[in-house]
């Protein structure tokens, strides 16, 4: 497989006022940079107006779909990514609508790419959202990783400056995730370059 550095998009999924996602995402980006296998692009969905009303014909059936002009930058950055990590809370036992909109407005951008997850919430640590996302992204032919990072009761784990109080276990989990993502991301990127999709 190629030793070329992967382009990784880390996506902040929550757009709610007062959200904690940027704190978790900044921590994870630090882990990505320490790992050294990626060029990282931090994408905050709060920066992009994602219409909830979708076009009449699904994006999966429109390879050259014209999206609203305000989505052009998000489209470019998703296109450029070799792999993704979605940072998500649990909202009512699932993931935020902003993530669903970002998934549903695209199709080929997710195909044959590896996706990892970093979850945070009260009791579950985002695992309920992650399980739902695995089902949805599988429908778009993305490969979701088994390994993940989870922060149950995240508000007890970070101090007021956004620093983890006990970083050892989360850092170890992040390394496992990033090692797996590097393998799958590289394998799928190389396959996309050399083999036509069915």
Q: Among 4, 35, 47, 22, which Cα is nearest to 186's? A: 4
This prediction has a pTM of: 0.96
Mean pLDDT of 130-138: 98
Mean pLDDT for 99-120 is: 96
Q: Is the pLDDT of residue 11 over 50?
A: yes
Q: Are 126 and 91 in contact (CB under 8 A)?
A: no
* Residue 2 pLDDT class (50, 70, 90 cuts): low
Q: Is the pLDDT of residue 165 over 50?
A: yes
Residue 1 within a domain: no
Q: Is 73 inside any structural domain?
A: yes
Question: 174 in a domain, yes or no?
Answer: yes
Number of domains in the chain: 1
Distances (CA, A) of 143 to 54, 93, 117, 155: 24, 22, 12, 30
* Average pLDDT estimate for 173-185: 98
Question: Is the pLDDT reported for residue 3 higher than 90?
Answer: no
| pLDDT at 197 exceeding the cut of 90 | no
Residue 104 lies in a domain: yes
| Residue 182 confidence (pLDDT) above 50 | yes
Over the stretch 49-77, which tens digit does the pLDDT of each residue have? 899 888 888 888 887 888 999 999 999 99
Q: Please report, for the domain that includes residue 103, its CATH number.
A: 3.40.50.360
Q: Is residue 59 part of a domain?
A: yes
Q: Is residue 94 part of a domain?
A: yes
What range does the domain containing 183 cover?
A: 6-194
């Amino acid at each position: 497989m190629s030793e070329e550095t992967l382009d990784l998009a880390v996506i902040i999924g929550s757009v709610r006022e007062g959200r904690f996602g940027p704190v978790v995402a900044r921590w994870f980006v630090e882990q990505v940079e320490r790992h050294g296998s990626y060029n990282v692009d931090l994408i905050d969905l709060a920066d992009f107006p994602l219409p909830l009303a979708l076009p009449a014909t699904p994006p999966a059936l429109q390879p050259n779909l014209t999206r609203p002009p305000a989505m052009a930058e998000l489209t470019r950055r998703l296109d450029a990514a070799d792999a993704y990590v979605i940072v998500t809370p649990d909202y009512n036992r699932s993931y935020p609508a902003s993530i669903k909109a970002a998934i549903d407005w695209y199709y080929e951008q997710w195909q044959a790419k590896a996706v990892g997850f970093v979850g945070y919430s009260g009791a579950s640590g985002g695992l309920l959202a992650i399980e739902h996302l695995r089902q949805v992204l599988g429908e778009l032919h993305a490969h979701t990783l088994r390994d993940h990072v989870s922060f149950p009761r995240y508000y007890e784990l970070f101090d007021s400056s956004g620093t983890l109080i006990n970083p050892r276990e989360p850092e170890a989990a992040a390394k496992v995730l990033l090692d797996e993502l590097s393998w799958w991301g590289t394998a799928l990127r190389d396959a996309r370059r050399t083999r036509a999709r069915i």
